[in-house]
Amino acid sequence: MKNSLYHSFLKIAVCVFAFVLVFDSGLALPATESMSSLTQQHLASVVGVTLGVAPNDVNVLTTRITELETELEAKERLIAVNLQNTNSDGGLDVSTFVLSIIVFILLVLIVLNYALDYIRQKKVIPLHEPTTSQMA
């Protein structure tokens, strides 16, 4: 029962989440933290939906205004990110915090699992069971 599927899954999950946490927090290399943050921002900005309408004067002007607004918002985000990077030299990233909590919960589950297995084994095999030769 020591190497059950559940035990193996918990061990692998802890290793994977610990590896991702080290990568995401930038402990091994500081560049991995910025790469992780940029990847998360890129994935968040890629998701979207587009529609098509037949072009006319109003649609062309509206499209151009929307493009200019999008460029302006992108520049504002870039400025905000640059300001945030200069202001938060040691700030805790949300993804690092979440991964830390997940790793802690998995470790608690492993410790709890082994403790419950120990208690169950102790109940199944009593240490001092009287034998027939001792009773006579």
Q: Give residue-wise pLDDT tens across range 83-134.
A: 777 666 555 677 878 888 888 899 899 889 888 888 888 887 665 655 665 5
Rounded to two decimals, the pTM is 0.41
pLDDT, greater one: 68 or 131: 68
Question: Dihedral through CA 22, CA 27, CA 88, CA 104, nearest 10?
Answer: 40
Alpha-carbon torsion (45, 46, 47, 53), positive or negative = positive
Q: Domain for residue 77, yes or no? A: yes
86: containing domain: 5-44+55-127
Q: Domain for residue 132, yes or no? A: no
Of 7-11, 22-26, 36-40, 45-49, the poorest mean pLDDT is in: 45-49
Is residue 63 pLDDT above 60, yes or no?
A: yes
Q: Domain for residue 133, yes or no? A: no
Q: Domain for residue 34, yes or no? A: yes
Q: How far is the CA of 113 from the CAs of 49, 72, 90, 116, 134, in angstroms?
A: 46, 54, 36, 5, 36
Is residue 44 pLDDT above 80, yes or no?
A: no
What is the number of domains present in the chain?
1
